[in-house]
Amino acid sequence: MGEIKLKDKVCIVTGATSGMGKAIARAFYEEGGKLVLSGRNEKRGQTLEEELPGSVFVPGDVGNVDDNKKLVDKALSSFGRLDVLSLNAGMLGLGSVVDLPISEWKKTLDVNLSSIFYISKYAIPQLKKDRGGTILINSSIAAFKSFPNHPAYCASKAATLALMRQMAVEYAPEIRVNALCPGPVDTPLIWDSAKAFEDPKTAVENAANTTLLKRLGTPDDVAKLALFLVSEDASWITGTAMTIDGGILNT
């Protein structure tokens, strides 16, 4: 039997109630992680908490400063330390620059970008106190590629990579900071994203067929990469944005 990769590591996982965040939470749990789970849907969060005994679910909106502080405080009160941030919460903010309401622009940046700043602000002192740790940001190939009617999403995802590199430089060598950049993954988010196109079903099918591997990614595909990046297997990787996209950026 192999080494348990996250044995007794205390991990905050945001966006944990669906899609990639949920798969990541399960992967971390199976490898011995002690989890603080975050999401807006309290019912789904409580169900996940029951599926992963010993985990703690904290409902909230990471776009709010105080909800991020609550997550760090809960990790410390429940488990006494903090080792890993896995930041997966996201929203789309669909609409062209002209049509997108300013409130939706601000909300998208709050959830996709500012939340990373908020939680890192509170978590980094504790990560340093606990002799290092790792921060993993779930970004997107939208950081590199434009999509119709996704200005807030694309802008926020590109900014997450700049913030990731800044934190990697500023808090090395104690803390590793990386990002993963998924392409088209079969989650509720891709189907919501497809609503920006005239024929959503065809848009998703086209995305799958455009990848070199001719399929959508799965949440478990992404979870395996996330597990690698926060584990000691990736102990010499920091300041890196790693794509996981079925090769779509090469087409």
Residue 106 is assigned to a structural domain of this protein? yes
H or E element in which residue 131 lies: none
Q: Which residue has the higher pLDDT, 24 or 200?
A: 24
Residue 5 is assigned to a structural domain of this protein? no
Active-site hit among 29, 118, 153, 171? 153
Residue 203 is assigned to a structural domain of this protein? no
Per-residue pLDDT tens over the stretch 150-188 = 999 999 999 999 999 999 999 999 999 999 999 999 998
pLDDT band, residue 238 (cuts 50/70/90): very high
Helix axes 115-129, 151-171, angle to 10 degrees: 20
The answer to whether the beta carbons of residues 136 and 238 sit under 8 Å apart is no
| Mean predicted confidence (pLDDT) in 123-138 | 94
Q: Is 160 helix (H, G, I), strand (E, B) or coil?
A: helix
Residue 232 is assigned to a structural domain of this protein? yes
In the residue annotation, 153 being an active-site residue is answered as yes
Q: Which domain holds residue 44?
A: 10-185+218-250
H or E element in which residue 218 lies: none
pLDDT of 1 reads 55
Task: Show the tokens assigned to 221.
Answer: 């595909």
Residue 145 is assigned to a structural domain of this protein? yes
For the cut 90, the answer to whether the pLDDT of residue 130 exceeds it is: no
CATH at 131: 3.40.50.720
Residue 51 is assigned to a structural domain of this protein? yes
| Mean predicted confidence (pLDDT) in 34-48 | 97
Residue 48 is assigned to a structural domain of this protein? yes
Residue 202 is assigned to a structural domain of this protein? no
What pTM, to 2 d.p., does this model score? 0.96
First to last CA, the chain: 40
pLDDT of 145 reads 95
Amino acid at position 42, single letter:
E
Compute CA distances 163 → 22, 111, 141, 216, whole Å.
24, 14, 16, 28
Number of domains in the chain: 1
